[in-house]
């Protein structure tokens, strides 16, 4: 694949990396580690003073204007152009659009980038390097190995406000994560306004109360009512874009559909005995799945049309597809008649039918489909479907063998809802048990190798059953987000730095977390600011 060509051109990438001691500045500690980083010994760095003044050529080129936006997104003050401007920007030819180069000296900053998106990474490298108002003299050659580097947020199980979502986006941008996977509906709540189906949010965004994780029978008695208006969605999408982040929405089809079916019972399998949908107050997998009927197929077309409009830059749209129980389809005479009509012999073929239908609808909108790895049960799954492999690396390797592009988020390493460690403090702070010991070293070292070159992305998923507030969310996310960013950026790179190298560099990032007042997890396992609520 194109990026490996780039890497082959840099065989000495890591041999060249060192922490030379400079009279001017301490070693820079960038996360993710750039492929080549040379910090000049004894050379004076670039003094920021009141900001970065651009060279006259910069605001005359599209690339230059994009660089200004990227620098501002990274927190720099960019000053108007002048003849002696210190910032120069140029295009570099590289098969990998994520490639960029930097050179910093006392005289100025030169950025080379293969695309606009690479400028965001270049700007964040500069931002991370700043020490006491100086960017140390250095030279960088860098490129992300993967084009999709992300975090999945789940505002369904517990709400996450627009303001808090923006805060998370800023943190993602700092570590060059360029994709937010937004899980917008589930059994416990429908969170995105759809104009054509107002009951989705009028009814489907409200639940009576929530379960405690450990003892699901214990309920907190607190009603939850939360959704994003279409204006909220646009605001988040635009804000993300200003930071170089693309938002990929997820609409769960045909399972995890209790909230949708509660709002519109016609979407469900109404002829099943005991059909009584409700927005779920517990956690797990629930029987309400969509029924294969004309109302449902029209619903999918309509909802995906609005979603495509709201997310104009999303190259693929996530249609869920995970954990689909077949019981209702077995019991529903209408679902059985549908199977007969199509010559289906197994209930799983109803899910396949939904999957193919979604792919077809999305294609009409010029988008590809991405789904959880269960979508692979469909025979002749469209070749351009992207598979998000969560159940483990076996499923990732199957997807690759079948020729699908894939995004890795194996539950064994990239589920940040699970504890960092095994000690009692960890399970106390994390709540959700199952897999544990997902600490930074594990995130860095986990074997994600897949033969071939089908892997296009990697992300961490932050399911929110046990994440009722931002204190807890920050604790679960930080600092693991840095380890994820490092693994994704350097995916498949020979000689990528080890966990000890990462941990050393991470030390330099705690002051940044402190400046944002993040409730991150300290090295002793305790939260930085305050106890996290269960
Ligand atoms: C499985 S991962 C799920 C989610 C849960 C998560 C943690 C996946 C595609 N589905 O619905 O939140 O486990 O409990």
SS3 labels along 255-275 = CCCHHHHHHCHHHCCCCCCCC
Q: Region 244-256: what's the mean pLDDT?
A: 98
Which of 170, 322, 323, 384 is flagged as catalytic? 323
Residues within 6 Å of ligand 1 by CB: 322-323, 372, 390, 417, 463, 465
The predicted pLDDT at position 60 comes to 87
Residue 9 pLDDT greater than 70, yes or no: no
The predicted pLDDT at position 252 comes to 98
Q: How confident is the model at residue 533 (pLDDT cuts 50, 70, 90)?
A: low
Is 202 catalytic? The answer is no
Q: Note the pLDDT tens digit of each residue in 412-434.
A: 999 999 999 887 777 767 666 67
Torsion of CA 17, 22, 27, 30, to 10 degrees: -70
Q: Give which of 29, 4, 26, 20 is closest to 486, Cα–Cα.
A: 29
Q: Region 227-250: what's the mean pLDDT?
A: 98
Residue 7 pLDDT greater than 80, yes or no: no
The predicted pLDDT at position 325 comes to 97
Residue 108 is given by DSSP the state -
Instruction: Pick the more confident residue, 50 or 9.
Output: 50
Ligand 1 centroid distance, CA of 463 (Å): 7
**Residue owning the nearest CA to atom 2 of ligand 1:** 390
Residue 272 pLDDT greater than 50, yes or no: yes
Q: Give the position of tokens 């400079």.
A: 22
Ligand 1 centroid distance, CA of 259 (Å): 16
Residue 71 is given by DSSP the state H
CA of 256, closest atom in ligand 1: 11
For the record, the structure tokens of 206 come out as 């409200």
Residue 344 pLDDT greater than 60, yes or no: yes
Q: Region 160-187: what's the mean pLDDT?
A: 98
Is 394 catalytic? The answer is no
Q: How confident is the model at residue 80 (pLDDT cuts 50, 70, 90)?
A: confident
Residue 411 pLDDT greater than 50, yes or no: yes
The predicted pLDDT at position 330 comes to 98
**Residue owning the nearest CA to atom 10 of ligand 1:** 322
Which of 98, 154, 186, 374 is flagged as catalytic? 186
Pocket test for ligand 1, best of 285, 463, 465, 476 (most atoms within 8 A of CB): 463
Instruction: Pick the more confident residue, 83 or 304.
Output: 304
Residue 17 pLDDT greater than 90, yes or no: no
Q: Is the pTM of this model over 0.85?
A: yes
Residues 302 and 307: their CA atoms lie apart, in Å, by: 9
Q: Note the pLDDT tens digit of each residue in 136-158.
A: 999 999 999 999 999 999 999 99
Is 524 catalytic? The answer is no
Residues 488 and 32: their CA atoms lie apart, in Å, by: 9
Q: Note the pLDDT tens digit of each residue in 460-498.
A: 999 999 899 999 999 999 999 999 999 999 999 988 999
Helices in 178-293 by DSSP H: which ranges?
A: 199-202, 230-242, 258-263
């Amino acid at each position: 694949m194109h990026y490996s060509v780039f890497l082959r051109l840099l065989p000495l990438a890591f041999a060249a990396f060192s922490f030379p001691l400079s009279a001017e500045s301490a070693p820079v500690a960038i996360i993710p580690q750039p492929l080549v980083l040379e910090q000049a010994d004894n050379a004076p760095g670039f003094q920021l003073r009141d900001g970065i003044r651009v060279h006259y050529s910069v605001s005359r080129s599209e690339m230059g204007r994009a660089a200004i936006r990227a620098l501002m997104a990274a927190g720099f003050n960019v000053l108007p152009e002048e003849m002696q401007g210190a910032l120069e920007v140029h295009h570099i030819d590289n098969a990998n659009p994520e490639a960029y180069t930097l050179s910093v000296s006392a005289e100025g900053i030169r950025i080379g980038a293969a695309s606009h998106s690479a400028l965001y990474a270049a700007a964040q490298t500069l931002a991370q390097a700043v020490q006491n108002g100086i960017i140390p003299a250095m030279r960088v050659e860098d490129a992300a190995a993967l084009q999709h580097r992300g975090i999945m947020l789940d505002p369904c199980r517990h709400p996450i406000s627009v303001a808090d979502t923006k805060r998370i986006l800023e943190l993602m941008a700092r570590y060059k994560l360029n994709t937010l996977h937004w899980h917008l509906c589930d059994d416990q709540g429908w969170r995105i306004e759809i104009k054509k189906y107002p009951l989705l949010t009028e009814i489907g965004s409200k639940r009576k109360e929530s379960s405690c994780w450990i003892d699901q029978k214990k309920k907190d008695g607190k009603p939850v009512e939360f959704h994003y208006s279409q204006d909220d969605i646009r605001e988040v999408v635009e804000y993300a874009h200003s930071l170089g982040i693309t938002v990929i929405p997820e609409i769960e089809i045909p399972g995890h559909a209790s909230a949708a079916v509660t709002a519109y019972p016609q979407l469900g399998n109404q002829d099943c005995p005991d059909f009584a949908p409700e927005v779920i107050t517990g956690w797990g997998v629930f029987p309400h799945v969509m029924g294969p009927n004309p109302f449902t197929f029209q619903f999918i077309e309509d909802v995906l049309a609005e979603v495509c409009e709201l997310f104009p830059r999303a190259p693929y749209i996530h249609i869920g597809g995970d954990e689909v129980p077949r019981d209702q389809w077995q019991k529903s005479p209408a679902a059985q008649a549908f199977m007969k009509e199509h010559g289906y012999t197994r209930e799983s073929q109803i899910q396949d039918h939904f999957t193919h239908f979604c792919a077809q609808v999305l294609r009409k909108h010029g988008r590809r489909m991405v789904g959880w790895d269960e979508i692979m049960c469909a025979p002749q799954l469209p070749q351009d479907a992207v598979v998000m492999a969560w159940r483990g690396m076996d499923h990732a390797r199957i997807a690759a063998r079948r020729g699908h592009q894939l995004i890795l988020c194996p539950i064994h390493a990239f589920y940040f809802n699970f504890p960092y460690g095994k000690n009692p403090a960890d399970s106390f702070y994390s709540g959700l048990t199952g897999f544990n010991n997902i600490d930074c070293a594990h995130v860095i070292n986990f074997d994600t190798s897949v033969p071939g070159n089908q892997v296009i992305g990697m992300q961490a998923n932050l399911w929110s059953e046990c994440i009722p507030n931002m204190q807890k969310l920050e604790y679960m996310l930080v600092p693991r987000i840095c380890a994820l960013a490092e693994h994704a950026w350097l995916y498949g790179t020979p000689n990528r730095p080890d966990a000890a190298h990462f941990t050393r560099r991470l030390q330099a990032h705690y002051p940044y977390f402190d400046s944002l007042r993040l409730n991150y997890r300290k090295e002793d396992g305790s939260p930085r600011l305050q106890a996290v609520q269960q």
